[in-house]
Amino acid sequence: MNPEPAPADPTAETIRAALVAATNRIAGHSDTPRLDAEMLMAHALHVDRGQLLLADLDVPVPGGFEALVARREADEPIAYIVGHRAFWTIDLEVGPGVLVPRPDSETLIDAAVDHFGARVPRSILDLGTGPGTLLLAALDNWWQAHGLGIDASEEALAYARRNAERLGMAARADFRLGNWAEGVEGPFDLILCNPPYVETGAVLPADVRRWEPSRALFAGADGLDDYRRLAPEIVRLLAPDGLACIELGAGQADAVAALFEAAGAATETRADLGGHRRCLLVRP
């Protein structure tokens, strides 16, 4: 005869109550504390957030949730804690050593899709690829394309290669250690780049400043050091009818456009959903 199941502990904290408490604890460390709490709870339960929101929240909290909340209280990025971040149409493995993909960067892919229309950019270059963010998003959009991702960090490239393998793109995505476009030969139909553009000494949120790699963030006193190097190299590598989509920091559009125009390119800008000029479109 099977024993009777043990009754639930009426004093155990429920998921519903734990989410409220975690939201309050995280509030000083995040602009989206409730969302963060839900993502951590979903991670602890091994479900996605949508499943969590449809589940019974009046059951005991899963083991491990408290430790996850403590990590967020220590300003660790939510993407590092759960180990992944959605971007465009893909989901990327991320963690310490790589820049966390931001929704604003999707502006670059959106601009490229609009530019090429029914055409396919068959050769794609991603300079500063990190975990493969822009290159793999582009390859997911154009399955006939092949791409090259360059990064100065072997740690970042390890993430990129794992992401390409998991997404079924390893045969179309080559990743190499490099110093921007040094030694790279073109031409490329599409060049994507999200370079460091933060001014040295700028005040950043704690989860960015303390956890994300400084080499992927800072670019000199005015934030333009890497653009200065990239402008002539990107123009050199563009196919005659190609396009480069370069991410911009706040207030940098005119200065960066001037650098690319001085290198012989034509430019225009594209705004993100917040209305900020986020993407510089560069044509030869």
As a whole number, mean pLDDT of residues 119-130 equals 97
Q: Which of 270, 249, 274, 277 is nearest to 112 (CA)?
A: 270
Q: Which of 176, 174, 169, 124 is nearest to 150 (CA)?
A: 176
pLDDT digits (tens, 9 = 90+) for 34-68: 999 999 999 999 999 999 999 999 999 999 999 99
Q: Which helix (H) or strand (E) holds 33?
A: helix 33-45
pLDDT at 2 over 50: no
> HSE-up of 99 (CA within 13 Å, CB side)?
23
pLDDT at 9 over 70: no
As a whole number, mean pLDDT of residues 156-164 equals 98
- Report in angstroms the alpha-carbon separations of 118 from 42, 141, 146, 198, 281: 39, 11, 17, 35, 18
DSSP 8-class letter at 15:
H
**How confident is the model at residue 201, as a pLDDT?**
86
pLDDT at 160 over 70: yes
As a whole number, mean pLDDT of residues 215-239 equals 96
Q: What is the spatial distance between Cα 104 and Cα 111, in angstroms, rounded to a whole number?
A: 12
DSSP 8-class letter at 152:
S
Confidence of residue 171 (pLDDT cuts 50, 70, 90): very high
Percentage above 70 pLDDT, the chain: 96
Six-digit token string for 21: 């408490």
Q: What is the spatial distance between Cα 171 and Cα 89, in angstroms, rounded to a whole number?
A: 19
As a whole number, mean pLDDT of residues 181-189 equals 96
pLDDT at 1 over 70: no
Show the domains of the chain with their CATH numbers. 15-74 (1.10.8), 87-283 (3.40.50.150)
Q: What is the spatial distance between Cα 242 and Cα 191, in angstroms, rounded to a whole number?
A: 8
Q: Which of 264, 230, 261, 262 is nearest to 247 (CA)?
A: 230
Q: What is the spatial distance between Cα 198 and Cα 201, in angstroms, rounded to a whole number?
A: 8
Give strand ranges (E) for 132-222: 146-151, 173-177, 188-193
Q: What is the spatial distance between Cα 256 and Cα 28, in angstroms, rounded to a whole number?
A: 35
CB 169 within 8 A of CB 139: yes
Give strand ranges (E) for 94-212: 123-127, 146-151, 173-177, 188-193
Strands 123-127 and 84-87, by their bridges, are: unpaired
As a whole number, mean pLDDT of residues 75-104 equals 96
pLDDT digits (tens, 9 = 90+) for 239-269: 999 999 999 999 999 999 999 999 999 999 9
As a whole number, mean pLDDT of residues 180-209 equals 95
**How confident is the model at residue 4, as a pLDDT?**
44
Confidence of residue 11 (pLDDT cuts 50, 70, 90): low
pLDDT at 131 over 90: yes
As a whole number, mean pLDDT of residues 94-106 equals 96
DSSP SS3 for 87: strand
